[in-house]
Chain A
Amino acid sequence: EVQLVESGGGLVQPGGSLRLSCAASGFTLSSSWMSWVRQAPGKGLECVATIKQGGSDKYYVDSVKGRFTISIDNAENSLYLQMNSLRAEDTAVYYCARGSGISWGQGTLVTVSS
């Protein structure tokens, strides 16, 4: 059974950093496109970063380019999102998703506030 479990969210001050993790089981992460999708409170969905299977190509939405980095650790079968220079508008539940959304984790809440 495919499972995705996110962790690493929390409260951080503006300008701070957080590293989100997504532990995968039931499949090999590097064999799939993987994405981080966020949902601000009461709002819609936004795909902020995607990594191609194998990890060769990475894509970022303009609003996070230069601040967020998506990566994979094959040994841990885990996906990461390093978030730097966080802003209030980054406040959201962050989901990791497999492929074009065939599987989702339960999400982890990131709150950016002083």
Chain B
Amino acid sequence: DVVMTQSPLSLPVTLGQPASISCRSSQSLVHSDGNTYFNWFQQRPGQSPRRLIYKVFNRDSGVPDRFSGSGSGTDFTLKISRVETEDVGVYFCMQHTHWPWTFGQGTKVEI
């Protein structure tokens, strides 16, 4: 199975300041079709996960542009340009290039 390793696991942030989360996969996430099937999710307390980013850098509809994704191969990053109160929660990376689809352990973002 592809192991997804996030860092840090806990991220204290300051309102208005940038924040960054890293995710590394144990093998390349480049599919034979040329796409990289890598997503970022946000899970606010008591809520279901919400997809923020798909295929590395594409923002989902309604996701603020302060969220951005980057990376390639095995190394990926989620950046929040200016943290807001509503960004508190746990962030997960996920790959669906290889079965089984696997998630990172989660990064808890707190003010």
Chain A positions within 8 Å of B, measured between CB atoms, are 35, 37, 44-47, 50, 59, 61-62, 95, 97, 100-102, 104-107
CB distance from B8 to the nearest CB of A (A): 15
**B103 A35 Cβ-Cβ under 8 A:** no
A residues in contact with B48, CB < 8 Å = 95, 104-107
Contacts of A102 in B (CB 8 A): 51, 54, 60
Cβ–Cβ < 8 Å partners of A95 in chain B: 48-49
B54 touches A100 (CB 8 A): yes
Contact across chains for A44 and B51 when beta carbons are under 8 A apart: no
10 A–B contacts, CB within 8 A, in A order: A45-B92, A45-B94, A47-B101, A47-B102, A62-B100, A95-B48, A100-B39, A100-B94, A101-B41, A107-B48
Contact status A104-B102, CB under 8 Å:
no
Shortest beta-carbon contacts, A-B, top 8: A104-B48, A47-B101, A45-B103, A101-B51, A61-B100, A100-B96, A59-B99, A44-B106
Q: Which of B50, B51, B100 contacts A47 (CB 8 A)?
A: B100
Within the complex, what minimum Cβ distance (angstroms) separates A104 from chain B? 4
Output the residue of B39, B48, B105 with the most chain A CB within 10 A.
B48
Whether A101 and B37, one on each chain, are in contact in the complex, defined by CB atoms closer than 8 angstroms, is: no
Whether A44 and B101, one on each chain, are in contact in the complex, defined by CB atoms closer than 8 angstroms, is no
Near A by CB (< 8 A), chain B positions 65-111 give: 92, 94, 96, 99-106
Nearest Cβ on chain A to B48's Cβ, whole angstroms: 4
User: A45 to chain B: which residues have CB within 8 Å?
Assistant: 41, 49, 92, 94, 103, 106
